[in-house]
Amino acid sequence: MMPHPLTRRRGVLVVVLLGWVAGAACQREPVDRAVLNAWLTCVECTDGELDSVQALARRAPATVDTLQKDLLQGPSPFQRDQLTVQMQTSYQRLATYNANDPTSDSLGFSQAEFVARYLGNVVMIYQGRAAYGLGAIGGIRARQALDSALQFSPDSFPPNVWAQIHFARDSLIGP
Contact status: 41 vs another protein (CB under 8 A)? yes
The burial of 145, by beta-carbon neighbours within 10 Å (0-12 exposed, 13-18 middle, 19 or more buried), is given as buried
Contact status: 138 vs another protein (CB under 8 A)? no
Q: What residues between 44 and 83 interact with another protein by CB under 8 A?
A: 44-50, 52, 75, 79, 82-83
Distance from C-alpha of 136 to C-alpha of 57, rounded to nearest angstrom: 10
Interface stretch with another protein, choices 20-28, 54-62, 116-124, 142-150 (CB under 8 A): 116-124
Distance from C-alpha of 175 to C-alpha of 165, rounded to nearest angstrom: 15
Taking the CB of residue 132, how many other CB atoms lie within 10 A of it?
Answer: 22
Beta carbons of 32 and 56 less than 8 angstroms apart: yes
Contact status: 27 vs another protein (CB under 8 A)? no
Contact status: 7 vs another protein (CB under 8 A)? yes
Q: Which of 117, 147, 148, 152 binds another protein (CB under 8 A)?
A: 117
Q: Which of 31, 62, 124, 150 binds another protein (CB under 8 A)?
A: 124
Interface stretch with another protein, choices 22-30, 59-67, 146-154, 157-165 (CB under 8 A): 157-165
Distance from C-alpha of 32 to C-alpha of 17, rounded to nearest angstrom: 28
Distance from C-alpha of 63 to C-alpha of 54, rounded to nearest angstrom: 9
What's the chain's Rg over C-alpha atoms?
24
Residue number, 64 or 131, with CB nearest to another protein = 131
Give the relative orientation of helices 33-41 and 49-59 as an angle to the nearest 10 degrees. 150
Contact status: 172 vs another protein (CB under 8 A)? no
Q: Which residues bind another protein (CB under 8 A)?
A: 1, 3-4, 6-7, 10, 33-35, 37-38, 40-50, 52, 75, 79, 82-83, 86-87, 90, 93-94, 97-98, 104, 107-109, 113-114, 117-118, 121-122, 124-125, 128, 132, 158-160, 163-164, 167, 171
